[in-house]
Amino acid sequence: MFLIGFEKLIYFLFFISYRTSFDTLVDILKNMMSHEKEIDAQQNGLDNQHDLPVYHRIRDTLNTFKHEVDNFESEKKRQFSSLASVVLQFSKTFAPIMGELMIKTVQTKEELEQVLKVLEENLPSYYFQRIVAELAKLITNDDSCSFIAQLTVEQKLDLAEWFIQEKKRPAFIFDLLKDSVFNQSSVDKQRCQSLIQQLRQSDDLYLKQQAMEYTVSWD
């Protein structure tokens, strides 16, 4: 099974993920990870330290899922959180790919928070903060997070208040505020001013610096 060509492996993974249990896909990835040394030793064209066939196959498979995730049913999209935990136990350097993949599947603010929880539980604090900064830019992209793209300006403001005041994740939402909320003429300016004041009092000095340097574009 592990000696089949990579293109056939990709095809097989997608075939089962569309037509059978999502658990089957997870099992195949787990088996590949558990046979990492064996596969790398047998299929590595250089030596056991550099080419890393298993790592690159998993990376390429996840990237393919990222581009094809819209074709999955809603129920299977929700299972990517469980897949993320498995993959991150194998290598935490897959966090950017898994974060982006999960972001593309969210349909509610709670699911968006769950993405951050999964990453937070599986990553060292310093690396988690780095990934949050990357995802903060990602959620302003309509193609990367269709859930947020469908929200009105007021709903985006509600979302930002929820993440800042209830979930205590201001760094995650600041880019969205700057790019899609604060610059809108129809936005509730008093609520925006309140959020800016909160951000300027943040214990996160980098976020505080950004908030203090930011100037709204209102007339």
Q: What is the pLDDT of residue 17?
A: 55
Q: What is the pLDDT of residue 136?
A: 94
Q: What is the pLDDT of residue 74?
A: 66
Nearest to 173 by CA among 191, 152, 195, 154: 195
Q: Where do runs of H (alpha helix) occur along the chain?
A: 6-19, 22-34, 36-43, 53-68, 74-78, 80-90, 95-103, 109-122, 125-138, 146-149, 153-161, 170-176, 189-199, 205-213
CB 172 within 8 A of CB 136: yes
Lowest mean pLDDT among 117-126, 134-143, 191-200, 201-210: 134-143
Q: What is the pLDDT of residue 1?
A: 41
39 against 91, higher pLDDT: 91
User: Percent of the chain beyond pLDDT 90?
Assistant: 49
User: Residues 67-71: what's their mean pLDDT?
Assistant: 71
Q: What is the pLDDT of residue 160?
A: 96
Average pLDDT of the residues of the chain: 83
pLDDT at 55 over 50: yes
Domain spans in the chain, listed from the N-terminal domain onward: 1-147, 151-219
